Amino acid sequence: MDEISGILSAETVAKGTKSEGPKYYIQPLDDYANRWSKILVRKQVMLWQNDPVLHKFIGKKILILGEIIETKSTITVDYKFVEELE
C-alpha cells in the first residue's frame, strides 16, 4: 500500500446533469509534488454523492493510504484509509 500526504479539495463536475457531484483531489506535499500539481482521489460512492470519508477532510492536510495508479499523463489514488495530519 502506498501513501500520499497533502491538502484535500473537491470540485463539482457534471453540473446540470443527474451525475452532478464532487470529484476529490489531493495537492501533494511529498515526493509526488515534483511531478503532479493535483492527484485524483477515487471516491467509493456513486458519482453524484459526497464521499462521507473524504468530504469531512476538505481543506485539511491529510495522509491517504491506498493503491496509486500512475500513467504518463494521469495519476489516481484508490484510497483505503485517510487521516488528518497536524
How much is the pLDDT for 12? 95
Q: How many domains does the chain have?
A: 1
pTM for this predicted structure = 0.92
How much is the pLDDT for 67? 97
- Assign 36 to helix, strand or coil: coil
Domain that holds residue 18: 2-84
Complete DSSP assignment for 3-34? EEEEEEEEEEESTTSTT-EEEEEEEE-SGGGG
pLDDT digits (tens, 9 = 90+) for 3-13: 999 999 999 99
- Based on C-alpha coordinates, what's the Rg of the chain? 12
CA distance 41 to 82: 11
CATH number at residue 79: 2.40.50
How much is the pLDDT for 86? 83
**Cell numbers 477532510: residue:** 57
